[in-house]
Structure 1
């Protein structure tokens, strides 16, 4: 019997569904951005554990890389910008947005002592953005440059791509004249006195949604209870961000390994002060509002106009409110 038992157990294990709910950690991919702070708060405060949710967090540098991980089946759910989700749908990968994470985060920064005062002054200048076709690129080309600045992204300025972490140094050394960046990089530049915000997207479009929680059809079907738990965790973490801002800022600064910096007047700026500065341009909210749907539809339309999508999608095709409704009902 001792020799047979292991074989029997292996046979039984093989007969079980490979991805039944609860049989392996919920693999969460997240863009390592300050705007996705609810992930950091939930991990630090034990909210996943409190919900009985076994998770494996996997950090990524940007949305397109997460998109590849989702398509490869390497993660079950993503904290990601809305554009990759509708891009997935357009390319045949069935996935849904099930909750919001944050609003705001992006801005155009220029040299503090430079001549650029308004977005239209970017004409003829060198502007750095991130990967072509990414969500931030769509926002930059479709809204910031075309609508706000009245410029052609391809004809009126030199638009280059570089990692967001390299933009401040490139701006400092004069390699570029401006950068379309996000937090905490914006605040780090501003607090050092090196950079100046010339266009804050959240001031122009207050409360515009950016990061969302999205899951492919396989996860929606096989792990619905875990997704409901995840949305309760997300809401709880967002509430903590609002109710305990100073502690939350310390957690974010520590988790993102932010370092103190020296301001132009020689004073030292603590890491949590960088997070506090960033709150001027971003915030957190879980509920998908009608205005959020309208903005995501706007991004879809930009993507079509820019040639990044072959067909126009309806935003309602990529949002599923049912999990959020269950999460709210079960509180």
Structure 2
């Protein structure tokens, strides 16, 4: 009887000790809401971080929402509907130029080139940029990075997008692909996997890469309000560390392995297409291998914006870019 009492007492004591510890661990889990500007294989490292449990390892519970468009994503961030935005760096410049007293800070790079491709309605065996002259071109939203890079590349090849093309810019971001599929335009600028899917379905053909043509750019970065970095610095550091782990994983694994890891985020795309797109992005260096947004890319970004006539003012690198967090987690 005494032996039974001792065993029972021991079990009760263990339970008393374990329950508070479990509760304590649960309390330490921090919720983070991410708003991504679109769902794209271009953001493969983010999905790897989710699937491989890198956020969980940092004690973070991540809720991912696709906010469809840079303006909508930034509105969600500024209204506190999300904590972190994955969107083009140009949006932080627009917010700053409007006189925000809580500027949006770029703290972790995810991609370092443009992620769009030029798609032709007809198959072209020997494409040249000259073939765009006089064509109906379904472009991206005015003032967004895809459109600005598109215009930058066109001008690089001696094409005035507003004089030499019949340029369509009034289609909402989410409706550009459906508009092309339904017959609008002879050429269109599309993200993956849509570009490859269209090619497989015979709706269009990839003829050029805007990423290869435009060079290094902080095309899509994780950003948050300056106040959030001050108030939740440790959380932002944990988030960045998880992203860095994912970037390293993507850099050291094959397209096949990456495709297998992220396939759950692209239910309507077959695994072969995902693998092909990942390989394409890897080959052109689109995935950043670390979260540091470099100054060269930042200046190139503003050159592209200026060329498009969309840069409200040049902003110093240190004003809207925080590299301390990224450098810290890389140590």
Counterpart CA distance in 1 for 2:244 and 2:30 is 23
TM-score relative to the length of structure 1 = 0.79
How far off is 1:216 after superposition?
A: 0.9
> Quick check: which one's helix share is greater?
2
- The answer to whether structure 1 residue 275 and structure 2 residue 250 are counterparts is no
Q: Which of 1 and 2 has greater Rg? A: 2
**Contact 2:248–2:290 at 8 Å: present in 1 too?**
no
The residue number in structure 1 matching 2:34 is 28
How far off is 1:229 after superposition?
A: 0.6
- The answer to whether structure 1 residue 80 and structure 2 residue 80 are counterparts is no
Identify unmatched segments of 5+ residues in structure 2. 1-26
**Contact 1:99–1:287 at 8 Å: present in 2 too?**
yes
Q: How does 1:1-331 map to 2 (within 5 A)?
A: 25-31=31-37, 32-93=39-100, 94-104=103-113, 105-114=115-124, 117-141=127-151, 143-147=152-156, 149-161=157-169, 162-163=171-172, 166-168=175-177, 170-171=179-180, 174-192=183-201, 194-245=203-254, 246-260=256-270, 270-276=272-278, 278-279=280-281, 280-281=283-284, 282-288=286-292, 290=294, 293-329=295-331
Identify unmatched segments of 5+ residues in structure 1. 1-20, 261-268
Give the length in aligned residue pairs: 297
Counterpart CA distance in 2 for 1:128 and 1:310 is 25
1:24-60 deviations in Å (ceiling 9; x for gaps):
6222222222222222112212111111123332222
Counterpart CA distance in 1 for 2:214 and 2:205 is 19
Counterpart CA distance in 1 for 2:188 and 2:72 is 22
Counterpart CA distance in 2 for 1:259 and 1:23 is 33
TM-score relative to the length of structure 2 = 0.79
CA RMSD of aligned residues (A): 2.7
Distance 1:151 1:68, change over 3 A: same
Distance 1:187 1:277, change over 3 A: farther
Counterpart CA distance in 1 for 2:125 and 2:273 is 30
The residue number in structure 1 matching 2:16 is none
